[in-house]
């Protein structure tokens, strides 16, 4: 697998999903994906959740020559993978376990980000419902007596 295959496609796909929800189906419920989280991260959980921490520092990423799109929570796996590739130059199969670890971390990171987006969207929908609005921000229609009399 080439380094550019997975993460860029996933980012475009996530951005496109946001575009559809934000501008067509659920205008008011779709969270702004480039802004910080609006709701309390521990809302609905019994115990506080662990905060994600960057393992690799900025200096380590610059020294390793990691491109900007890959400077994420999985950068420390990428650094180890690149070091292994440099040590075992013609024998790249010796680094397969590190490559697998890095790809798995990328997939887990994408899953976590998507779950956070979904959680934020559902909390926004809950907030709108409690406020008496539909998912586009319009007030819900008030049922009349004649509407109930038909049934």
Instruction: Report CA torsion sign: 117, 120, 126, 132.
Output: negative
Three-state DSSP class for residue 133: strand
Residue 59 in this model has a pLDDT that exceeds 60 = yes
Q: Can you state the percent helix, strand and coil of the chain, rounding each to 5?
A: 60, 0, 40
66-71 LR contacts (CB < 8 Å, sep 24+): 69/7, 69/8, 70/3, 70/7
Q: pLDDT digit string (tens) for 65-99?
A: 999 999 999 999 999 999 999 999 899 899 999 99
The per-residue pLDDT for 147 is: 56
Whole-model pTM?
0.72
Which residues lie below 8 Å from residue 31, measured CB to CB, with a gap of 6+? Answer: 37, 38, 117, 120, 121, 124
Check residues 74 and 6 and name the one with the higher pLDDT. Answer: 74
CA 103 to chain centre: 16
């Amino acid at each position: 697998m080439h380094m550019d295959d997975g993460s860029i496609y996933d980012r475009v796909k996530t951005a496109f999903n946001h575009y559809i929800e934000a501008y067509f189906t659920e205008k008011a419920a779709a969270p702004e994906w480039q802004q910080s989280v609006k709701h309390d991260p521990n809302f609905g959980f019994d115990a506080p959740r662990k905060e994600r921490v960057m393992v690799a520092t900025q200096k380590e990423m610059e020294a390793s020559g990691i491109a900007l799109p890959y400077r994420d929570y999985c950068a420390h796996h990428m650094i180890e993978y690149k070091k292994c590739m440099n040590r075992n130059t013609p024998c790249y199969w010796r680094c397969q376990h590190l490559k697998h670890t890095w790809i798995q971390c990328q997939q887990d990171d994408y899953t976590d980000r998507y779950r956070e987006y979904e959680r934020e969207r559902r909390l926004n929908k809950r907030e709108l419902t409690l406020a008496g609005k539909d998912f586009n921000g319009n007030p819900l229609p008030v049922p009349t007596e004649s509407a109930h009399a038909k049934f």
